[in-house]
Amino acid sequence: MTNTYKIFTLMACFCMAALVLPGCHHADDAQDDKDTKFEVTDSLLKSLLIDTVEDASARTEITLTGSIAPDENKMVKVYPMVSGVAENVKVQLGDVVHKGQTLAIMRSAEMAGFEKDYTSATADLRNARRSYETTQDLYKGGLASQKDLEQAQGDYQKAVAENKRASAVMQINKSNGQGYEIKAPISGYVVEKNLNSNTQVRADNSQNLFTIADLSSVYVLVNIYESDISSVKIGDPVKITTLSFPDKIFSGQIDRIDNMLDPDTKVVHARVKIDNPGVLLKPEMFASVKIKARSGEDLPEVNTRTLIFDNDKNYVLVVDGKAHVRIQPIVIAKKVEDRAYISSGIKAGDRIVASRQVYLYESLKDN
Whether residue 41 has pLDDT greater than 50: yes
Predicted pLDDT of residue 110: 79
Predicted pLDDT of residue 30: 44
Please give, one letter per residue, the 3-state secondary structure of 60-75.
EEEEEEEEEEECHHHE
Taking 3-state DSSP, the helix, strand and coil percentages for the chain, each rounded to the nearest 5, stand at 35, 40, 30
Report CA-CA distances (Å) from 275 to 6, 70, 238, 265, 281.
101, 11, 13, 28, 9
Strand (E) or helix (H) holding 328: strand 324-336
Predicted pLDDT of residue 27: 43
Each residue of 84-108: b (16+ CB within 10 Å) or e?
bebbebebeeeeebeeeeebbbbeb
The percentage of the chain sitting over the pLDDT mark of 90, rounded to a whole number, equals 40
Q: What is the pLDDT of residues 85-141, one digit of tens each?
A: 888 899 999 899 999 999 998 888 777 788 888 889 999 999 999 999 999 999 888
Predicted pLDDT of residue 57: 66
Predicted pLDDT of residue 186: 93
Q: What is the pLDDT of residues 305-354, one digit of tens each?
A: 999 999 899 999 999 876 688 899 999 988 877 888 888 999 888 999 99
Domains of the chain (ranges, CATH numbers): 42-58+298-365 (2.40.420.20), 62-72+216-296 (2.40.30.170), 79-108+179-214 (2.40.50.100), 109-175 (1.10.287.470)
Mean pLDDT of 29-33: 47
Predicted pLDDT of residue 38: 60
Predicted pLDDT of residue 220: 94
Predicted pLDDT of residue 131: 93
SS3 assignment, position 84: strand
Whether residue 33 has pLDDT greater than 90: no
Residues 126 and 120: their CA atoms lie apart, in Å, by: 10
Predicted pLDDT of residue 22: 47
Predicted pLDDT of residue 254: 93
Mean of pLDDT over the chain: 83
Strand (E) or helix (H) holding 146: helix 146-172
Nearest CA to 317 out of 273, 348, 362 is that of: 362
Mean pLDDT of 288-312: 84
Residues 353 and 316: their CA atoms lie apart, in Å, by: 7
Whether residue 194 has pLDDT greater than 70: yes
Mean pLDDT of 58-66: 80
Q: What is the pLDDT of residues 203-244, one digit of tens each?
A: 777 889 999 999 999 999 999 988 888 888 899 889 999 998
Mean pLDDT of 22-32: 46
Residues 331 and 225: their CA atoms lie apart, in Å, by: 32
